[in-house]
Amino acid sequence: MSKYSAKDKISKKLEDSIAQTNAPLTEKDDLTPDEIAKLTPEEFDFAEYDETAAERAGYSNYSYWRSTIRVFFKNKVAVTNLVIMLVLVLFTFLQPLLPNQFDPNLVNKFDEKAVWLIVDEDGKAKLSGIKYTKGDYAAETDGRNTTLAYVQAPEDWGNIKLYVQEKGGVAEEIAATADSENPGWYYAVISAEKPYMYVTSEDGEKTTYFEACWITVDEETTGVTSSSSKQTSGELIADVPEGCVLTYLYVPENWGTPKVMAGGIMRGSETSEVEFTPLEGEGNEGWYYAFVNSEQMMLEITSENGEYKGMNKGVARVTDPTEITPQVGFISNQRPNEVYWFGTNDIGQDLWSRMWSGTRTSLFIGIVVAAIEAVVGILVGLLWGYVRKLDFLFTEIYNVINNIPSTIILILASYVMRPSVQTIIIAMSLTGWIGLARFIRNQVIIIRDRDFNLASRCLGTPTRRVIMKNLLPQMVSVVMLRMSLAIPGAIGSEVFLAYIGLGLPISIPSLGNLVNKGRSLMMAPSLRYQLIIPAVILSIITVCFYLVGNAFSDAADPKNHV
């Protein structure tokens, strides 16, 4: 604490300043005659206007934009979002330049001359017509008499062996050539005469073809499924009696030990009970096995207490090895896999490239709409605010337009014009600018006659500088807020238009198209990826733009620059 009170301080300061002002008067009243003689006429010229000198008093090394950026970067959430947004936008525009990208409108079809067989750890073989290998085909085939088969097996299978046979015939080994371009892939030409193929590992221990059968009962639907691909772990049960089929059976835990009645294929044929033994070994919980006579292969499965019953009969039969035959048709509704990263849609278009192409379209629409809104809004707003005579006219126009719901204008404009990117942009730009123009007008009217602007004008600051330094910083905040809302808004309107059937044609992918397509498939749970992927990406984009815009608008507000 000072020893003087506030009042003392002020009176002391006053006294000092009075003393200072009076000092030169008492010392020297006027120039001496010698000094007057030294004066030159130039010293009495008017001083030129010097911008730096005029502004010197009020300005330090403060820079508006540097300050804005500094405030913005203090906001950690906004910075994170900015990074996500930049990465997304950058990737969206770089995606077509990446290697191995599909055309978004290309309808992909299964290859007619080759098939791809993927064997998993359990020895299950999956046949597919999707081209998993890169480069040209290793051998020439016509797809009718001969088919090129590519095979991929787990690494520990070693150099795989391929066996082909006729239906129910004797297996014959054929050569599997390792594909030099695609490590892990083997190929062989399969003739149509012996189209059934199975794969074994180098030592013959593991195989895709088992002379056994696996029957499962679903807990919810009690549906019975029979399959010949291995589903239990460990070795198969050896020494199967002649004329019998090794059958594995899985029932839900609450069924207890299953009771199985075996019968012939013919209706009303004799039935006999088959005793199933629990299977030992890890991962085999719920599995039972038995040797089923191949004459009585239809199995009726009931739970221990008879409470549950299999909906249909199981079939204890060894199925043939995988038939190698070219797949036909569109590669439609494939779930995401290594070739089609986001899967394909119902006509076989690659959703990965459609996704990014759609994001490009939607971002383009959003950015153009926001830019038009900003330019028109600022121009009209400045005119509205500065030219007092136009105020009444503009206010009336504003009242009319503002009274009409913008959704209605959007729908009507899109209804009247043909659907295209331009139509959507025009329809969305029709009303957006009016809100911004009003904001700008209000700001201009408020700030125009503020004291600091009067002071600037008195000091002779040019209008350009007044606008740039005094007006613009006050508006950046509002303009940015409106832009940040306009981009997600435009993307949302596009989705809405697509939904009510006024959106872009299907040949121009957009986020709206994709979401709408996904929505029409949402009742099929296995196809929901077509809805969820675009919806998630759309949400990330809109939320990022919104948050970044909001944060930047807060940062740009001069009130927050302290």
List residues binding other proteins (CB under 8 A): 395-396, 399-400, 403-405, 407-408, 411-413, 415-416, 485, 488, 491-493, 495-496, 499-502, 512, 515, 519, 522, 528, 531, 535, 538-539, 542-543, 545-547, 550
Task: State how far Cα 246 lies from the chain centre.
Answer: 48
From the list 552, 425, 396, the residue with the least C-alpha distance to 65 is 552
Tell me the C-alpha to C-alpha distance, in Å, between residue 288 and each of 215, 299, 304.
10, 14, 13
Measured from the CB atom, the residue of 121 and 396 that comes closer to other proteins is 396
- What is the rounded distance in angstroms from the CA atom of residue 550 to the CA atom of residue 562? 19
Dist CA 341 CA 96 (whole Å): 14
Nearest distance from C-beta of residue 416 to other proteins, angstroms: 5
Name which of 258 and 377 has its Cβ closer to other proteins.
377
List the beta bridge partners of residue 288: 249, 278
Closer by beta carbon to other proteins, 303 or else 530: 530
Q: Between 244 and 412, whose beta carbon lies closer to other proteins?
A: 412
Beta-sheet strand order (sheet of 244-250): 224-227, 212-217, 244-250, 287-293, 277-278
Q: What is the dihedral of CA 236, 242, 246, 247, to 10 degrees?
A: -170
From the list 273, 277, 319, the residue with the least C-alpha distance to 299 is 273
Cα–Cα dist 489/135, whole Å: 44
* DSSP label at residue 179: P
Instruction: Give me 532's structure tokens.
Output: 């969820």
What are the residues whose beta carbons fall under 8 Å from the beta carbon of 211, sequence distance 6 or more? 240, 245, 246, 318
- Closest by alpha carbon to 341, among 520, 91, 115? 91
Closer residue to other proteins (CB): 152 or 510: 510
C-alpha 166/C-alpha 192 separation (Å) is: 9
CB of 477 to other proteins, least distance (A): 16
In what helix (H) or strand (E) does residue 363 lie, and over which residues does it extend? Answer: helix 351-386
Q: Which is nearer to other proteins, 47 or 523 (CB)?
A: 523
Q: How far is the CB of 388 from other proteins (least distance, A)?
A: 13
Name the minimum Å distance from CB 524 to other proteins.
11
Which of residues 296 and 493 has its CB atom nearest to other proteins in the complex? 493
Of the chain, the end-to-end C-alpha distance in Å amounts to 27
- Shortest separation between residue 470's beta carbon and other proteins, angstroms: 25
Find the shortest distance in angstroms from Cβ 386 to other proteins: 18
CB of 509 to other proteins, least distance (A): 17
Q: How far is the CB of 78 from other proteins (least distance, A)?
A: 12
User: What's the min distance (Å) between Cβ of 183 and other proteins?
Assistant: 42
